[in-house]
A and B are shown apart, each in its own frame.
Chain A
Amino acid sequence: MALNNIWVFAQLANGAPTSATLELLSKARSLSSNVVAFLGADGGNAAAALGEFGATKVYATGDLGGALPGVAVSGAMKAVIDGGETPDLIMFPQNYEGRDVMARLSVKLDKTVITNNVDIADSGNGVTVTTPIFGGNTLVNTTFTGAAPFLAAFRPKSFAVEPAGGAAAAVTSVSVPDSGAAKVTAVHVEETSGPKLDEADIVVSGGRGLGEASNYGLIEELSKLLKGAPGASRAIVDAGWVPYSFQVGQTGKVVKPNVYIAVGISGATQHMVGMKGSKNIIAINKDKEAPIFGVADLGIVGDALKVVPKLIEALKGR
């Protein structure tokens, strides 16, 4: 089938489209000439950027006023579809809001969902998505067999961001039939200074091998010296050493920096999924059997608390 009409669940951060949104729009535009950016926010200021990267139309709910997008945006999407629009494919970013909107919509439309994808192809005979499993060692290709619309979620950094050179997309306001009973009452930001984790050229991540929370300071110092961003394994986020926003992995951020330094991280599947796409990987770990050494370009079998302080001294001395 041809994908005549693709919707992308679009998100904004500080008024501008997120990188995940631009990735999905870029890919959608390569598959179809009709691409709708569906926003659970006010669309006016973002219309130019959304158009530049592939959107031909913007549907915007306006500010959600503290409502969670799951109920609100899925209801708005359903209302537009009930009104006669026929998207063939609806693409979602694999993140909190994307998952919630997709899940609610799948029930409203009684359609299956395929999540955690890294690629999509339209062969003319069917639309197929690719999902990595077993830590990314195996790729599963799944074809949608039912009637459109197909619902699929994609991991961040699956597609290159490519400007399509389009004009500002026309914004159509859509109504929110139900904003849901859950309400956001306060927003807390846990950003660090320096480059953002998922955009940094160098990422230094720490794990259990650091021994205790106070030793995470070594990770911050090393990443600062390298002008990179500090990251973490799920184990130390769960243990409360660092905020969740530091987490690299399947349930955290996906990073693809030029250099990834894993310190005291064994390399559980959960973590590897989030960093295996890094160009160069350095690992420091006590256990020489640790799976992280299977993907590292340079592996140091040793105590992170001995190696890292010396590395920091050497870098400071340059």
Chain B
Amino acid sequence: MNVIVCVKQIPDPAVPGALDGSTNTLKRDGKLILDDSDAYGVEMALQLVDKAGGGEVSLVSMAPNSETSGLRTALAMGAAKGVLVSDPALQGSDALTTAKVLAAAVQRLGGADLIIAATESSDGYTGTVPEQMAEVLGLPSVTFAKKVSVENGALKVDRQTEAGYDEVTCPLPALISVTAGVVEPRYPSFKGIMAAKSKPVEEVKASDLGVTPVGWEGAGQKITSVTQAEARQAGEVIEDDGETFGKIVEFLENLKVI
């Protein structure tokens, strides 16, 4: 079984985000790391391939400045190879263009039995790319998968819903988006980290994939202004001395909710 995982390399979430003053898009020029949300997909892919008893896990990613550090993390976990799309002309691409690019990268790898993505990235969180990719590739899809197995050549998925979850079956090839917590991502071993350095990552441009970059405005949207939201004022903060529960009771009494 061959699986392709879409991985995003994002600015470190521990560092406060900032907007580029000229384009009003998120600054992504610093060091990028593997989006935590994608580690679950990589782990899921490795487990499924392992269970199938053969095949490999490949990666596709789109990032500026030939960035591969996040890809190397996923390779160190056990993925075999990757395709990186890095092209200044793709800067400011909307979700639809991103989906077209990643779908073309999947095709460059010759497709797969299963394509896995996170439900949304931790930096842009548009949340539509996986399902858009499925449509571009003409594949069935199951989004928000929280439990995944392959039985008799078909996917069995527990899919999150507003009220709980649905059991869904889906033939392969297919695309799924997986939620955080679906599996426990492994830590790359030292051996894995060393091996990842020599694993192949092919870098391509949009033109190599036959996708025409349209940029932000060509996509049909333009950021017209950025404003600060009305900040919520912090109230009283007190250290617990064993009696502060009384403060909470008083607060609730004043609101007449008790």
Contact = CB atoms under 8 A, between A and B. Distances in A.
B170 A141 contact: no
Nearest to A182: B170
B203 to A, nearest CB: 26
Contacts of B179: 244, 251
A1 interface: no
B72 to A, nearest CB: 25
B155 to A, nearest CB: 8
A252 B70 CA distance: 26
A100 B171 contact: no
A70 B131 contact: yes
Interface in A143-200: 143-147, 180-191
Given A181-B174, A185-B169, A297-B251, 9 more contacts: A107-B132, A126-B224, A138-B227, A141-B225, A141-B227, A243-B164, A244-B160, A299-B235, A315-B258
A245 B206 CA distance: 40
B57 interface: no
Nearest to A268: B13
A188 B125 contact: no
Contacts of A106: 95-96, 128, 132
B200 interface: no
Interface string B158-170: 0111111111111
B102 interface: no
A80 interface: no
A111 B237 contact: no
A186 B157 CA distance: 11
Contact of A259 (B135, B169, B222, B255): B255
A113 B141 contact: no
B191 interface: no
Q: How many residues of B sit at the interface, in one of the four size bands? A: 35 or more
A142 B240 contact: no
B84 to A, nearest CB: 23
Nearest to B166: A184
Interface of B: 16-17, 19, 24, 26, 94-96, 99, 119-120, 125-132, 134-136, 140-144, 146, 159-171, 174, 179-181, 217, 219-229, 231-232, 234-240, 242, 244-249, 251-252, 255, 257-258
A235 to B, nearest CB: 9
Nearest to A222: B248
B43 to A, nearest CB: 13
Contact of A300 (B168, B171, B229, B247): B247
A112 B221 contact: yes
Given A137-B229, A145-B221, A184-B166, A104 B140 contact: no
A182 B174 contact: yes
B131 A315 contact: no
A261 to B, nearest CB: 8
Contacts of B94: 112-113
Contacts of B135: 74, 103-104, 107-108
Given A300-B247, A302-B239, A185 B227 contact: no
A306 B240 contact: yes
Contacts of B221: 112, 114, 142-146
Contact of B127 (A13, A115, A311, A318): A115
Query: 5 closest pairs, A vs B, by CB?
Result: A302-B240, A146-B220, A238-B181, A103-B131, A299-B237
Contact of A96 (B26, B126, B161, B255): B161
Interface stretch (A44-52, A56-64, A128-136, A213-221): A128-136
Interface in A84-141: 94-96, 99-100, 102-104, 106-108, 110-116, 126, 128, 132-134, 136-141
A244 B126 CA distance: 20
Contacts of A243: 164
